[in-house]
Chain A
Amino acid sequence: MKLNRRKFLATTATASAALAAPGYLRQAMAAGDPIKVGALYSQTGGLSVVEKMLAAGVRMAAEEINAQGGVMGRPIEVVVEDGASDPKTYAEKAQKLVIRDRVSTVFGCHTSASRKAVLPIFERRNAMLFYQTHYEGFECSPNVVYSGAVPNQQLGNYIPWILETLGKKKVFIVGSNYVYPREMAKVSKGLIEAGGAEWVADEYLELGHSEWAVMVNKIKESGADVVLSNVVGDSIISFYREFINQGLSHEEIPICATVTSEIEIAAMGPEYAAGSYTSFPYFMSLDTPANKSFIERYRAFVGDPKATTYHSLEAAYFQVFLWKQAVEASGDITAEAIREGVRGQEYAAPGGNVKIDEDNLHCWLTPRIGQWQADGQSKVVDEYPEPIKPLPYAAYGETADNLFCTREGLDSSKL
């Protein structure tokens, strides 16, 4: 193809106009036209197991909103893109969604690695990312709404409960070797020391590692009376199985996990986890009409009568409703409007009430501790009476009275 000068000029002019005025173009759409949003999850690759569920949660919420008349009378159109379990692909697809499809909101990402990869695009192009996975904190972007838990909401009640109610004194910390488990360990150590107990080890295994013989042996020899696990992914299954198979029991040395969910329990066989604990704001077993109905609708939506729900799926689902409320509150779908509109939005999610924080755009959630039962479901043994404030910088001394991350952004002088 030969590109002549005139054609070249015409193309670049159109392209730069499109880039320069996305806000204008968005507003020019007539009422009744669909509102496009992105859903950026891995449909292929190693992470697709979980991320397909999250994408289904987002699509289901959009479908329900459309059935109720849409947002401001306009239906939602979900553009699904495949991140292919690879941060670089995530960045490309995020660019595609924000620049070519001109969406102002993307629901997406699962791992911290993928979120970090797309973050610069959302900040530079000024679009909003809704991120549902519980993560390590230490982030304060005005372009991200975080609907999952941060460390203070998973560990704040968990560690004191382990030390006081379970009466444990020596904690063995184990995790997969990347940023989330390491930050979780950092928060835990502070809480363990504050509670007058000690941590006897802080060990890591490669992501996806499935040979646990040596590590479990170390746990056995360490004299620890409780294990705090920040292990993620497939490794969880071989870990719990090895733990039981080396003769340890959750009665004497319980595994207290921050990531192990209904999905991993089903895959390992519930007999290996019975008696262990996990801290999450949402469990499939929550006995409320809202949750029962959510599980039923999700199973119908994915066409699998045995489908499992868990914390991130619930958050992937309810974040779409928070977004809808934000759009309706501000009456517009630009990133600025959503950002301001979403502050303080409350919603009755399947797991109870949630609220987006006015300051840091994270989510108020109710910390709960579940003990796994022989049927693969959890029994909530401890919970906060109400949602608590998210503190993404809790590991660095952030408290509700001394916020690091505010409306103005991160106050880095406090770090």
Chain B
Amino acid sequence: MVDILFIGLSLSSILLLVALGLAVTYGAMGIINMAHGEMVMIGAYTAVMAKIWLGLGLIAAIPLAFIVTALAGLAIERLVVRRLYGRLLDTLLATWGIAILLQQAIRLEFGLSFFGIHVEGLGSGLQNVPVPAALQGTLRLFGHDFNAYRIFIVAMTAALALATWVVMYRTALGMKVRAIIRNPEMAAACGIDVKRTNALTFALGSGLAGVAGVLMAGFKTVAPDMGATLVVDGFMVVVTGGVGSLLGTVAASGLLGEFNALVAMVSNDIIGRAAVFAVVIGVILLKPAGLFTFKGR
């Protein structure tokens, strides 16, 4: 039973890892960022390239990936998203287009493959990110053997969630963001630079995705299309938890992850996944705004 609960916890933490950044961009800014999965992918590729070019290991690649993807996010916000605020469906299409562009850019090595130039670490192939020996195999805690890498992911996710909470609720930036969530016009009228705050928020969300990418690289394959399925899971969690609520996102990922593990254990993974979607549908039917919502006026 402990095994199953731990697996559930680990599934939850992976869901939360992807959803954290989305909770920030979608929740705070009202942008459906379909390129979020590609930010995860770029984070993972940063780990690959950091290994090849700088000789950095998985852990050292984490801050680097945060910076790289935050800058990429900033560029996307400045060039595209900024022009589309308030047009929800247009952001969906535009960011989806960006997602495809990014995927193909990595696959075609930024076009260099047309000239016969091969950049090691890019391209359509599967890339390998080595995991430090300490995170391989199992770790014995409280008389049980646990998967060491999954413990690492759970801990990292908890730290990131805490950091996000601190940023959102204990800093000036967070206060501005929360003001913008409630009422952007009023926030602007009070002297908050909405554009600048939004740009920083988008960069933060993208940076979180980049960190998720490095952690994913340790147990998944790094390939150009690795992000495509993640973004769906991410939105599922954010919508179930309640848009704009960090606590809701944490609770929803915990619920869905544990439920997935339990159902998968008694039946199989395919039914487990279907059951998760059934729960999501149920929650949305009963509570259309999600599990946790703040009361607006």
Contacts and interface: CB of A to CB of B under 8 A. Distances in A.
| A, B in one complex | yes
Interface of A: 46, 48-49, 52, 177, 203-206, 208-211, 213-215, 217-218, 234, 237-238, 241-242, 244-247, 263-264, 266-269, 271, 303-304
Interface in B63-92: none
Interface residues of B, number: 39
Interface of B: 3-4, 7, 10-11, 14, 107, 116, 118, 124-128, 130-131, 136-138, 145, 147-150, 218-221, 223, 225, 229, 261, 264-265, 268-270, 272-273
A206 B126 contact: no
B138 A271 contact: no
Contacts of A263: 126
B219 A245 contact: yes
B269 A46 contact: no
Q: Which 5 A-B pairs have the closest CB atoms?
A: A267-B126, A247-B138, A214-B264, A213-B7, A234-B221
A114 B64 CA distance: 41
A269 B131 contact: yes
Contacts of B11: 211, 213
Nearest to A208: B229
A326 B56 CA distance: 53
A306 to B, nearest CB: 9
Given A238-B219, A246-B147, A48 B264 contact: no
A185 to B, nearest CB: 14
Given A215-B269, A244-B137, A210 B220 contact: yes
Contacts of B3: 217
B159 to A, nearest CB: 20
Contacts of A177: 270
User: Secondary structure of the A side of the interface?
Assistant: helix
Most buried by B among A204, A208, A245: A245
A238 B268 contact: no
B270 A213 contact: no
A208 B270 CA distance: 12
Nearest to B123: A49
Given A245-B136, A268-B128, A304-B118, A206 B225 contact: no
Nearest to A271: B136
B5 to A, nearest CB: 11
B221 A237 contact: yes
Contacts of A203: 268
Contacts of B219: 210, 238, 241-242, 245
B289 to A, nearest CB: 29
28 contacts: A48-B107, A204-B270, A205-B270, A210-B220, A213-B11, A214-B264, A214-B269, A215-B269, A217-B7, A217-B265, A218-B265, A237-B126, A237-B221, A238-B219, A238-B220, A241-B218, A245-B137, A245-B147, A245-B148, A245-B219, A264-B126, A266-B126, A267-B127, A267-B221, A269-B128, A269-B130, A303-B116, A303-B118
A348 to B, nearest CB: 30
B148 A238 contact: no
